[in-house]
């Protein structure tokens, strides 16, 4: 074994409390940085998915329910509100609109109605352009009688079925993960809403509000792109009893929230790094000064100044690396648990970072924290070696 490495190993085990203290500092820093990094990427992807899943340039909802719709889009919350289908006909008459597709939201009174508590949404598969394109990357052109589409977090049975109101439905497609309420939603054709309501009555399991195939909760709109969106919004606003939610307003709300969170995370990381570097510098400076007699003894025994400097650097690098590995590993495990808690307990749009991003965050964190220890000790080593060690 290399002399400097042998000396480093003996020093680590002979001063176990000092070694554990240095490991702990690196562990805390690497854990915090890695966890915050993973959470930041998870929130960013969740928000990106929500904006992409919105699909529509603008959405028309009953008057007074614009904020409720944004809540459904931006979180995992559920809601219901209705307007007459006549609104759809008025919307389709407006110039500049390419497609207008109606959706109907259904809220059940109890989770026992279904295999799992879900938001049921009726869509018009003939005109839909916001749901079916996200089914495993394939476009579903229609839903047959007895078929449904489900979100990524809806528990599908082994035979690809899902039960609602005592009836078993075939799952025709499963949406990709979005981090929004779509993950806990079941989509059926709007023409089947009357049948679904009858099944609910027959099963003795009601819904919060009676609904039929003529009721509309939201109209998803895609424009032709040849007329300014603000002009179309102005025309839509003239329709009595409606609110208009635009993709820009949703995106702005998401971006603003992310910016605030990102600022908090950056401040935490900067403070942590500054405090950590100061602590590492002071601890290494004090411990190295306390080791003057140890270094003098090594020099008397014939160990060269080069070997002493090498052994000190290696000792600190080993301790920093151990702390970084432990901190990064614990952060990765904690994030796995935290991801499920965020998914279940909060309404935040949140998805797992991609594998490559996760690896990059963890590896970068590990390397930076491992190298930071020796860098903070360099000045102390340079100070003590020239004074007591002559080449």
Cα 370 from Cα 321, distance rounded (Å): 4
Question: What's the confidence (pLDDT) of residue 208?
Answer: 56
More confident residue, 126 or 180: 126
Q: Confidence class of residue 50 from pLDDT cuts 50, 70 and 90?
A: low
Q: Of 145, 147, 148, 90, give the one whose Cα is nearest residue 118.
A: 148
Taking residues 223-243, report their average pLDDT. 86
Question: What's the confidence (pLDDT) of residue 177?
Answer: 77
Average pLDDT taken over every residue of the chain: 80
Question: What's the confidence (pLDDT) of residue 56?
Answer: 81
Taking residues 270-294, report their average pLDDT. 78
Lowest-confidence segment of 48-62, 320-334, 359-373 by average pLDDT? 48-62
Taking residues 219-246, report their average pLDDT. 87
Q: Does position 248 have pLDDT exceeding 70, yes or no?
A: yes
Question: What's the confidence (pLDDT) of residue 328?
Answer: 95
pLDDT above 70: percentage of residues in the chain: 79
Cα 239 from Cα 93, distance rounded (Å): 11
More confident residue, 232 or 249: 232
List the beta bridge partners of residue 220.
59, 101
Q: Confidence class of residue 360 from pLDDT cuts 50, 70 and 90?
A: very high
Taking residues 46-69, report their average pLDDT. 80
- Mode of pairing for the β-strands spanning 147-150 and 167-174: parallel
Q: Does position 6 have pLDDT exceeding 50, yes or no?
A: yes
Question: What's the confidence (pLDDT) of residue 348?
Answer: 63
Question: What's the confidence (pLDDT) of residue 362?
Answer: 94
Q: Does position 139 have pLDDT exceeding 60, yes or no?
A: no
Taking residues 362-387, report their average pLDDT. 82
DSSP state for residue 134 in the 8-state scheme: G
Give the number of C-alpha atoms closer than 13 A to the C-alpha of residue 311, restricted to the C-beta side. 25
Q: Confidence class of residue 390 from pLDDT cuts 50, 70 and 90?
A: very low
Name the strand (E) or helix (H) holding 222: strand 218-223
Cα 60 from Cα 91, distance rounded (Å): 9
136: exposed, middle or buried (Cβ count in 10 Å: 0-12, 13-18, 19+): exposed
Q: Of 204, 217, 175, give the one whose Cα is nearest residue 85.
A: 217
Cα 285 from Cα 279, distance rounded (Å): 10
Phi-psi category of residue 304: left, alpha or beta, with phi > 0 → left and psi -120 to 50 → alpha? beta
Q: Of 93, 102, 89, give the one whose Cα is nearest residue 56.
A: 102
Contact 331, 30 (CB under 8 A): yes
Contact 236, 91 (CB under 8 A): yes
Taking residues 357-367, report their average pLDDT. 93
| pTM metric for this prediction | 0.64
Taking residues 198-207, report their average pLDDT. 69
Taking residues 151-155, report their average pLDDT. 85
Q: Does position 8 have pLDDT exceeding 80, yes or no?
A: no
- Asked whether the CA dihedral 115, 120, 126, 129 is positive or negative, the reply is negative
Taking residues 274-297, report their average pLDDT. 77
Cα 116 from Cα 191, distance rounded (Å): 23
Question: What's the confidence (pLDDT) of residue 361?
Answer: 92
């Amino acid at each position: 074994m290399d002399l400097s490495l042998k000396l480093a190993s003996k020093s680590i085990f002979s001063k176990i409390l000092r070694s554990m203290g240095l490991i702990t500092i690196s562990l805390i820093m690497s854990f915090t940085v890695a966890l915050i990094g993973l959470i930041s990427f998870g929130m960013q992807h969740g928000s990106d998915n929500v904006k992409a899943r919105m699909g529509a340039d603008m959405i028309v909802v009953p008057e007074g329910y614009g904020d409720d719709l944004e809540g459904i889009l931006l979180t995992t919350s559920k809601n219901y509100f209705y307007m007459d289908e006549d609104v759809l006909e008025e919307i389709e008459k407006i110039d500049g609109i390419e497609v207008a597709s109606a959706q109907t939201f259904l809220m059940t009174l109890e989770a026992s109605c279904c295999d799992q508590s879900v938001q049921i949404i009726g869509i018009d598969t003939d005109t839909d352009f916001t749901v079916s394109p996200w089914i495993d990357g394939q476009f579903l052109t229609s839903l047959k009688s007895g078929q449904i589409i489900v979100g990524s977090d809806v528990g599908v049975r082994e035979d690809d079925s899902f039960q609602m109101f005592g009836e078993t439905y075939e799952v025709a497609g499963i949406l990709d993960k979005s981090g929004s309420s779509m993950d806990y939603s079941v989509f059926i054709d709007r023409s089947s809403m009357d049948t679904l309501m009858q099944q609910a009555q027959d099963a003795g399991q009601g819904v919060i509000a009676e609904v039929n195939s003529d009721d509309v909760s939201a109209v998803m709109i895609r424009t032709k792109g040849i007329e300014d969106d603000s002009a179309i919004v102005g025309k839509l606003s003239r329709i009595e009893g409606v609110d208009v939610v635009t993709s820009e307003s949703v995106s702005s709300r998401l971006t603003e929230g992310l910016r605030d969170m990102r600022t908090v995370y950056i401040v935490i990381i900067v403070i942590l790094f500054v405090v950590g570097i100061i602590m590492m510098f002071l601890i290494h400076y004090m411990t190295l000064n306390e080791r003057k007699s140890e270094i003098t003894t090594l020099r008397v025994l014939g160990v060269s100044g080069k070997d002493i400097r090498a052994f000190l650097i290696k000792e600190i690098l080993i301790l920093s690396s151990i702390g970084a590995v432990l901190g990064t590993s614990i952060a990765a495990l904690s994030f796995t648990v935290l991801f499920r808690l965020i998914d279940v307990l909060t309404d935040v749009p949140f998805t797992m970072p991609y594998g490559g991003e996760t690896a990059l965050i963890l590896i970068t964190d590990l390397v930076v924290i491992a190298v930071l220890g020796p860098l903070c000790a360099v000045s102390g080593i340079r100070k003590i070696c020239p004074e007591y060690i002559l080449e």
